[in-house]
Amino acid sequence: MKLTSLGSRTKALAVIGTVTAATAVLGAAAPAQATSAASYAAAVCGSGFSPDSNGVFSLDGGTIYVSYNGSTDCAVLMKSAYVGTATNTWVFIEHANGAGGGYGGPDNNGDDDGWYTTYAGPVYVYAPHECIEVGGGTVVGNDAAWPSVMCG
């Protein structure tokens, strides 16, 4: 039976039923998506990277996730505000105490600053069993983590 042969009330109920079913499917996926943000960021870093549970730094406009592959740390800032809209978003990584050594990003210096819709990074530093600094920011309230130190 074609939908066009039904009355307008039946059409409206059919549309509501379709929207309700789609919402139920999307709603069921939301908690899994929320818990996988760190895993997604690790995948952005590349094959072999795993999320570091100590490397999660929340900002008003996003979260910095640090991942590790046994010798190299990687940082990605995932936006939580203005997702899908290009806004200035940045992330950096380096050896602790401003010692540099980061790579990745447009200048290959461990700093990725640009107009991004979803995330900034990945940026990397080779630092096995060393302390690192990570930081970043978004356009939301000039919020920034500058710097946060991790040792491991």
The pLDDT tens digits of the residues spanning 3-54 come to 333 333 232 333 333 333 333 333 334 444 435 899 999 999 999 999 998 8
The sign of the dihedral angle between the CA atoms of 112, 96, 124, 52 is negative
Average the pLDDT over 61-69 and give the result: 94
**What is the tens place of the pLDDT at every residue in 120-134?**
999 999 999 899 999
Distances (CA, A) of 37 to 65, 76, 99, 111: 8, 11, 29, 21
pLDDT beyond 80 at 149: no
Nearest to 133 by CA among 122, 145, 141: 145
Quote the Cα angle for 124-130-136, to 5°. 40
The predicted structure's pLDDT at residue 49? 96
pLDDT beyond 60 at 68: yes
Residue 26 corresponds to which tokens in the numbers above? 């999307």
Reported pTM:
0.75
Percent of the chain with pLDDT over 70: 71
